[in-house]
Structure formats: structure tokens, C-alpha cells
Amino acid sequence: MSIDPILTASPAEGQPGANTRKVFIKTYGCQMNVYDSVRMGDALASEGYVPTEQMEEADLIVLNTCHIREKAADKVYSALGRLREMKKARNAQGQELMIGVAGCVAQAEGEEILRREPSVDVVIGPQTYHRLPAALRRARLGDRIVDTDYAVEDKFEHLPAVESTRVRSRGVTSFLTVQEGCDKFCTFCVVPYTRGAEVSRPFRQIVVEAQRLVDAGVREITLLGQNVNAWRSEGPDGREWGLGDLLYKLAEIPGLARLRYTTSHPRDMDDRLIEAHRDLRELMPYLHLPVQSGSDRILKAMNRRHTAEEYLRLISRIRAVKPDMAMSGDFIVGFPGETEQDFADTLRIVEAVGYAQAFSFKYSTRPGTPGADLPGHVAEDVKAERLERLQSLLLKQQAEFAKSCVGKVIDLLLEKPGRMPGQLIGRSPWLQSVNVDAKPSQIGDIIPVRIIGTGPNSLFAEPVGASSAS
């Protein structure tokens, strides 16, 4: 799943002082990149870096990049061109500004970034960002560093432990990466080439980090992975555990009220994971399960290794044990060879599922992926027209789902202040943003509210008292 570029000012302890450096990290892409940026901030804290939300006052600027969107590398080089001028001005004043590029574009481009942009000091891949502090020390001595190897060591073992003071500054929800990489090799996707093969973090490592997050006040954890439901590890009983087993274990942590996970692949949705949705009240009834197309012919060309009918049967099995499950998905329009009939099949699967939320994009080639060499590329105007029709249907379904919530009493996790005085924003079990009148001291509480209205991108609610939500 992709989201718009966002700013992540990586938290760190301490107050700015004479020997303190400031870091600004700009995060592009998915939730995993958000998590990675936070963990880079944790690693840099040991070097005396504290976060800033003002790029102009930073001593270090890191672009944590994503390679999913079209022309991702071009956008990074454009941003680096602007940073080059900033660095020149800073150096002319006798001041230091270091520039780093991290993430998937760094992994894909490597040395080319240093060749094209002399202002860059460090290029570091998603598997080696635990080495960022050491790379910066070397760069400060005059070396220009590229570290995009797939690390032999476990980066999570080398990252500093999550400290309570930093976690508290982030809020009551947190991401936690449990799996990285992908072995599926969908023909449209660069992830296997930028993130590598599927790797699962060890069970005990995840439980320890989750416990530390909860001890610091986190109420909701979202488990992350490129194919999060492909997670496998030896469990405490010596047998191989899957994501369902992990969720059962995490649900035992006192104070952890909510669990989510993303992004899943239909092929890895096993019985134990479906049972977890049936049994665990902590596991929220919202599932992001991309299908990409409703045409079996296109699914085969994408190397998805499931059919539209198999996907629909899986949805039926999930809803049989969790009737209030809200579905989210991803769709690619205009994949090479897609005909009007193939697109009609996609519209049909959307109608059949009824999505509460979805992400849809025009197909764009990724150099080095098999899809780039397929015949029958669809004209841009045709892709645009089909995408408009698909998004119109998806937005209609999203609005209908939101309206169906009006009148319901739900449990709402209060996360942060709203735009209006006396208002807080929380998330519904179905991941919707909900506005409600409440006190700042209630942030972190889960309260029963009644949904009373809908907006373009959020819901409105009123408290209903101390009785438990239905």
C-alpha cells in the first residue's frame, strides 16, 4: 500500500545544545518507510541528533525514499537539486549540512546518486540503515558512502532499543515491522529487487519491542510487512509459527488494546490467521487485502498466482467468521494487455466485495521488472478513463460504508487533538478518522461514541457515557 509523501521528524531524546545536531527526515511512501524513518531517528539519537520539523535549520537532511510510484527516482533527484543549493549557501556561511538518501530509490540507484548529485554524502539501503551513524562519521572525514548491500547481520539487533521517552512523543499508536521483502515476484513490482527476499523478524524480538511500546503508553500496534501474513518464525513451543499465532501472543500483552496488520497477500491468508479474526477482540475488523485486478487473464500476467474466484471465496471465508469485516484493497488499471472486458471483470469484483476503502493507480512501468517488457501496453488516455470509472465506484462504496456507520455505537481510540477547540480525533475499528468532543487528558482512552454524521474523509461522533460500546 502506498500513501502520499509525508514528513517524519524522527524523535530523539535530549534538548538542543552546543554539541547537538538537528536532523530532518522526509519520508516518502508506505507505512514501512515511516517505521524505518523513526528507527533511523532512534539510531541517530546516539550520535546526538535531535529532530526538527524545519528543514532549513537541520544539520542533516535524509530523504527516505520509495520506488513504488512512477518516476520515483526523478522526484528524488529533483529534491536533491534543491538541497544542493541549500548546502552551497550553508557552506558559504561556514556551516555544515550533510545530505543522505535512504530507502528503495537508494537501493535501486546506489552509486548513480553520488555520480549525479555531488552534494550527497551518504546513500544507504533499507536493509543497512542501522549503519547510518557509522556512515555519517566516515562521510564527515571526507568519504562519500554507498551502503546498499543486503546486510548479513540482523539490522534490528543492531538498532537501539526503543526508549520510553521517545515513544511517548510519538503518540498512542505505533507501527512495528515484523517482515520485510517479497518472494512473490509480481511482474509489476520492484519490491523483490529493492527490499530483497522475504525475511521474518524472530518471534521473541517482536514481542520484546511490542512490550516496550505498550510500557511507554502505546495502545494500538500495526504490524508491518511487504507481505506481512507471510511472517514465519520458531515459536516458544519449538514449532513454526505464522502471523495468526503471533497475533494471539501479542493480544496477551496487558494494556495493548488494539492490533492491526498490513499489507497482506491472498496466498498467505491461512486458517490460523482467519481464526484470529474470529477470536481476538483486540484484532480490528479491517483487512487490507490487495487483488490488483478482477481478470484471471491479467492476474496470470501479473503472476499473482490466484484467481478472482479464489479471492472472492477467501473474502467469504473471512466474513463468515467476522461479519463486520471492512475490506480494503489495491487495484492497477491498464496493465499491459488489459482489454475493456478485463477491466469490466475488475469492476465486477469491486461490486462483489464492496470495499470500505481502496487504493487504485494507473499501471506505470518499472525498469527491470518483467511487466516492462510485456506487449500490449495500454494508451495513457485509456488508462486515465478507466481509472476514473474505477475510482468513482470505489468512492461510492466508501461513502456508502461511512453512511452505514451512522447511528452505531463504537469504541473509539482517542489519538490526538482535532482542528477545533475541545475536539479530539480517533480511529474507529475500521480505521476511519472520527471527530468527537473530548478533553486532551483523554488522549489514549478508548471511549464509546455514537456516529452522528459523515464528512468527505472522516466521521463525526458524540460520547454516549460510560456504558460499553456495542
Q: What is the pLDDT of residue 14?
A: 38
Q: Tell me: the pLDDT tens digits for 60-118? A: 999 998 876 667 788 899 999 999 999 999 999 989 999 999 988 888 888 999 999 99
* d(C-alpha 301, C-alpha 187), whole Å: 7
Q: What would the mean pLDDT of 391-399 be, rounded to a whole number?
A: 98
Question: Residues forming the annotated binding site?
Answer: 30, 66, 104, 182, 186, 189
SS3 237: coil
Q: What would the mean pLDDT of 2-7 be, rounded to a whole number?
A: 34
Kindly give, in sequence order, each residue whose CB lies less than 8 Å from that of residue 393, ignoring residues fewer than 6 positions away.
347, 350, 351
Task: Indicate the range of 20-34, 101-115, 166-180, 420-434 predicted with least confidence.
Answer: 166-180
Nearest-5° Cα angle at 119, 77 to 116: 45
Of the two residues 374 and 154, the one the predictor is more confident about is 374
pLDDT at 306 over 70: yes
Q: What is the pLDDT of residue 59?
A: 94
Q: What is the pLDDT of residue 4?
A: 35
pLDDT at 184 over 60: yes
pLDDT at 400 over 70: yes
SS3 112: helix
Nearest-5° Cα angle at 433, 439 to 13: 65
Q: What is the pLDDT of residue 12?
A: 37
Question: Residues forming the annotated binding site for [4Fe-4S] cluster?
Answer: 30, 66, 104, 182, 186, 189
pLDDT at 11 over 50: no
Q: Alpha helices of 189-238 — where are they, by DSSP H?
A: 191-194, 203-215
Cell of 263: 499489507
pLDDT at 143 over 70: yes
Contact, 219 vs 257, CB < 8 A?
yes
Task: Indicate the range of 147-161, 205-219, 302-316, 346-360 predicted with least confidence.
Answer: 147-161
Q: What is the pLDDT of residue 187?
A: 96
Q: What is the pLDDT of residue 43?
A: 86
* d(C-alpha 464, C-alpha 325), whole Å: 24
Q: Tell me: the pLDDT tens digits for 444-466? A: 999 999 999 999 889 999 999 74
Q: What is the pLDDT of residue 469?
A: 41
pLDDT at 51 over 50: yes
Q: Tell me: the pLDDT tens digits for 213-259? A: 999 999 999 999 999 999 999 999 999 999 999 999 999 999 999 99
Q: What is the pLDDT of residue 26?
A: 93
Q: What is the pLDDT of residue 466?
A: 47
Sheet holding 357-362, edge to edge: 286-288, 326-333, 357-362
- pLDDT band with cut points at 50, 70 and 90 for residue 38: confident
Strand bridging mode 6-8 / 21-27: antiparallel
- pLDDT band with cut points at 50, 70 and 90 for residue 2: very low
Task: Indicate the range of 47-56, 65-74, 153-162, 381-390 predicted with least confidence.
Answer: 153-162
pLDDT at 13 over 90: no
Cell of 353: 466485495
Give me the chain's average pLDDT, please: 89
Q: What would the mean pLDDT of 340-356 be, rounded to a whole number?
A: 98
Domains of the chain (ranges, CATH numbers): 6-147 (3.40.50.12160), 161-284 (3.30.750.210), 285-404 (3.30.750.200), 409-463 (2.40.50.140)
- pLDDT band with cut points at 50, 70 and 90 for residue 367: confident
* d(C-alpha 304, C-alpha 299), whole Å: 5
Of the two residues 24 and 72, the one the predictor is more confident about is 24
Task: Indicate the range of 47-51, 308-312, 346-350 predicted with least confidence.
Answer: 47-51
Q: What is the pLDDT of residue 470?
A: 37
CA-derived radius of gyration, the chain = 23
pLDDT at 121 over 50: yes
